[in-house]
A and B are shown apart, each in its own frame.
Chain A
């Protein structure tokens, strides 16, 4: 098995980022423009123009902040999974020519999404600062929350990537599941509107635990649900272990298939 090569991962991450805006006049500036536009839509269009309110809050922008706090991590999480699902197939020109470790192809996706998440968060922070938002101390946990979220995405992504080599439908199935998962997670709506049974089921939704943590920190000036996060950490690592064992068991077949 090939070993992980840090410089190789950084190089393909840099290329991945450059290719996304290749040929455009503004180049990497688009990486800042997109989050700006998205946050403008969440905060100004939904919060101010449409007058959407969070129940029990009088703050004008609360719903916009609630949306942004949920959508920024969800975008990173879902993009990592959907891009990872087809990583081995999409990068087969590299796999067949360079003796590289296959998980490094997933790591570069994670790294690339981290750059996008970081820029979005930076823009979000700037907007919140201009609005005079008081930041909660739980903010210190943000890097660790993101780390856990991306580990979970990597575990699911690796599992999907392995299956996708043998069953090409997995890529489409992943997209469908992510779409359903998005609407099953209270990101654009609040969980209070759900029926009681669904609210109880929500405790088993790992994405909800993560998104809820962000929303608590940014909107409700509260700490994340710590014990739910401990349990999610254990589940995430069990899933990662399972995916890696499956990957190692099938690695030779994956290379042969590709």
Chain B
């Protein structure tokens, strides 16, 4: 129940931000603000979704904290690929 609620609220916040930037911000910096808002929106979803879900077991082959996100570069594609079709 929490997951769709989080996605809806987060998207709602993003759309409100989008509306505000489009209406109130001058065009010179609008594009850069939109890019920043987009970045926060998507990165926020992929960062907070496992937290909201409350399950860290999905992060097979990846680092367990976002602070170590860069370490995903060290895992091999084979490790990340769930062979055998198990969930």
Decide if A69 is an interface residue (CB 8 Å cutoff).
Answer: no
Chain B residues, Cβ within 8 Å of A199: 76-78
Say whether, besides A56-B84, A226-B62, A231-B70, A144 and B45 are in contact (CB < 8 Å). yes
- Tally the A-B contacts, defined by beta carbons under 8 Å: 126
Q: Mark B1-34, 1 if CB is under 8 A from A, else 0.
A: 0011001000000000000000000010001100
Instruction: Report the Cα distance A220→B45, complex, angstroms.
Output: 21
Q: Which of A28-36, A73-81, A159-167, A201-209 contacts B (4 or more CB under 8 A)?
A: A201-209
- A231 x B72 contact (CB < 8 A): yes
Decide if A221 is an interface residue (CB 8 Å cutoff).
Answer: yes
Looking at chain B's contact residues, the main secondary structure is helix
Decide if A237 is an interface residue (CB 8 Å cutoff).
Answer: yes
Nearest CB of A to B86, in Å = 7
Total number of A residues with any Cβ neighbor in B under 8 Å: 50
Nearest CB of B to A103, in Å = 9
Instruction: Report the Cα distance A254→B53, complex, angstroms.
Output: 47
Task: Out of A204, A208, A225, name the residue touching B73 (CB < 8 Å).
Answer: A204
Nearest CB to that of A191 among chain B residues? B77
Say whether, besides A137-B3, A202-B77, A226-B62, A57 and B42 are in contact (CB < 8 Å). no
Q: Which 3 pairs from chain A and chain B are nearest by CB?
A: A202-B77, A56-B84, A221-B87
Residues of B near any A CB (own CB < 8 A): 3-4, 7, 27, 31-32, 35, 38-39, 42-43, 45-47, 49-50, 53, 58-59, 61-63, 66, 68-70, 72-78, 80-87
